[in-house]
Structure 1
Amino acid sequence: MLLLTTTGRRSGRPHTTALGYYPDGERLLVVGSALGADQHPDWFHNLQANAEVTVETGVFTYEADAVPLEGAERDEVFARLVEADAGWGEYQAKTSRTIPVVALVQRQAGPPGGADSFAELLIKVHKTFRRELELIRAEVAASGTAGLGAQLRINCLTLCQGLHNHHTGESMGLFPGLRELHPELATEIDALQAEHDQIGVRLEALEKLLSEPSPDLATEVDRLADLLIAHLDHEEAALLSYL
């Protein structure tokens, strides 16, 4: 999930929207589905008027150009997105408008907004997970028994993949390094690794529920949220002073 900030085409004020996204080489792709409504979402109208946007991925914040894909390129990319999640095709079938696909292209090389230390980076990543989890929690609660739309499914899957990648990196890199430098942390690191394993079980359970409507989805999201928030708090208390 990312936060996309556009400039209001009438007000001139910044407007921020949370969107699921697909990495595509050096650019990110977002979809203006509006759940299959007959009107484009406001954020798309805004970027048509002013293509300069701000993208927040959690770790990095940067300025980007928003480029709506056109013609054969749009059709080819949208077909790939439908293959990844049939919900996008369902939304397109609901409306006569062509659902836009927008490429977000970073305006300068490198990771502006990056962290100056690993401690700062960890805090930024954790802040993003907390924010995304609360957004998804609210979206799942609001969806009720209607089932998940494609946008919410991709938001959930993005969170699951992000957590998996983050914890894999910690387990394979950060934790072994800290064990070597600070043997006194062994007990804490063992406990944090056990929490990673528990969160992994909850992520697998959540991913299974995303394929079709389930009354258990909200409960599973709550279980993951409670476990993850406790883990993030524990990790920060245990490790930040050593990073």
Structure 2
Amino acid sequence: MLNDFTARLIDEFRANAGQVGGPFENSRLLLLTTTGARTGQPRTAILTYYPDGARTLVVGSAGGSPKHPAWYHNLLADPEVTVDLGLFSYPATAVVLRGSERDEVFARLVEADPGWGEYQKKTTRAIPVVALEQRPGPPPGADRGFGEALKIIHAAFRRELSLIRKEVATSGTLGAQLRINCLTVCQGLHFHHTGESTGLFPALVQQHPELTEVVDALQVEHDQIAVLLGELERLVGAPEVLDQIDELIAQLNAHLDREEAALLPYL
């Protein structure tokens, strides 16, 4: 049973595409839906998460309680879960990190947020770290058409870069997790633009030759952004990385706006 605060937070998350106010404003939050180990019914928890390459990490702190959270017991019984990031959701498999991998990842997360370490001091149990691995399937929003899928993907990149920008600006040092956050979004943008350049763009030009010049200009912007991504990866541990992130955000937002204005009517 959810307490009133958690229930209201989940309602706010769902009503605002994953955005909430108050103490969790500008936080990375997701809804994790598991299958109740005893009831067999869907159970949803709202959790902080961390990007980790192709997977997403969540922590079973339960505020330092002596008992693991209910969602953790549920996924032990059935690791097939649903992840909702507000902009889109996807099916995932939950993998509990064990041994040295768990310890190394938890130390990285404590570096990013010392609160996890404080929770660990309150309990004798090893606070679990769980990796959520997306199962194969159609891209976000694909059931609503290519145009809607493109808007959702663009919105996700805009939000993630905004969060990274805030983290870099407020962090005294670029710790291991923040570097992974930066590299994860770089890899995601590279993958997305490669898919557009090799799939979406040629298909659109073949069907609509009048888009040739527009697509050529968008491809030039892809190449320019690729240079920025490479520079960001090179500077990810350096103080000047914030300037590079600002430049990337400015160029990427302008590119996404132009791409949506030009291509959405055809999608």
Fold in common (TM above 0.5): yes
| SS of alignment partner, residue 142 of structure 2 | coil
**Match for 2:163: what amino acid?**
L
User: Of 147, 153, 157, which aligns to 1:125?
Assistant: 153
User: Of 117, 135, 141, which aligns to 2:163?
Assistant: 135
Are 1:30 and 2:57 an aligned pair?
yes
**In 2: Cα distance, 1:109 partner to 1:88 partner:** 28
User: Of 211, 236, 242, which aligns to 2:260?
Assistant: 236
User: What are the Cα deviations for residues 7-46 of structure 1, in whole angstroms up to 9, with x where unaligned?
Assistant: 9xxxx995353421343xxxx45164xxxxxx94759999
Match of 1:191 in 2: 217
Deviation at residue 64 of structure 1 after TM alignment:
5.4
**Match for 1:192: what amino acid?**
L
Bigger relative contact order, structure 1 or 2, given CA contacts below 8 A and separation 6+?
Answer: 1
**Match for 1:234: what amino acid?**
R
Deviation at residue 103 of structure 1 after TM alignment:
3.1
Instruction: Decide whether the 8 Å contact of 2:62 with 2:69 is kept in 1.
Output: no
Are 1:159 and 2:188 an aligned pair?
no
Instruction: Decide whether the 8 Å contact of 1:6 with 1:47 is kept in 2.
Output: no
| SS of alignment partner, residue 148 of structure 1 | coil
Aligned residues: 214
Deviation at residue 180 of structure 1 after TM alignment:
1.1
Deviation at residue 151 of structure 1 after TM alignment:
1.9
Instruction: Decide whether the 8 Å contact of 1:61 with 1:112 is kept in 2.
Output: no
Provide closer, same or farther for how the CA distance between residues 167 and 65 of structure 1 changes in structure 2, counting only shifts above 3 A.
Answer: closer
Deviation at residue 101 of structure 1 after TM alignment:
2.6
Provide closer, same or farther for how the CA distance between residues 234 and 47 of structure 1 changes in structure 2, counting only shifts above 3 A.
Answer: farther
Instruction: Decide whether the 8 Å contact of 2:30 with 2:86 is kept in 1.
Output: no
Instruction: Decide whether the 8 Å contact of 2:51 with 2:181 is kept in 1.
Output: yes
**Match for 1:137: what amino acid?**
R
TM-score w.r.t. the length of structure 1 is 0.71
**In 1: Cα distance, 2:100 partner to 2:209 partner:** 53
Match of 2:9 in 1: none
Match of 2:173 in 1: 147
**In 2: Cα distance, 1:171 partner to 1:229 partner:** 18
| SS of alignment partner, residue 55 of structure 1 | strand
User: Of 88, 107, 115, which aligns to 2:142?
Assistant: 115
**Match for 1:178: what amino acid?**
L
Task: Tell me the C-alpha RMSD between the 2 structures.
Answer: 3.9
Deviation at residue 147 of structure 1 after TM alignment:
1.7
Instruction: Decide whether the 8 Å contact of 1:58 with 1:127 is kept in 2.
Output: no
Are 1:50 and 2:71 an aligned pair?
yes
Deviation at residue 165 of structure 1 after TM alignment:
0.2
The percent of aligned pairs where both chains have the same amino acid is 51
**In 1: Cα distance, 2:84 partner to 2:66 partner:** 20
Are 1:224 and 2:244 an aligned pair?
no
| SS of alignment partner, residue 239 of structure 2 | coil
User: Of 105, 108, 111, which aligns to 1:88?
Assistant: 108
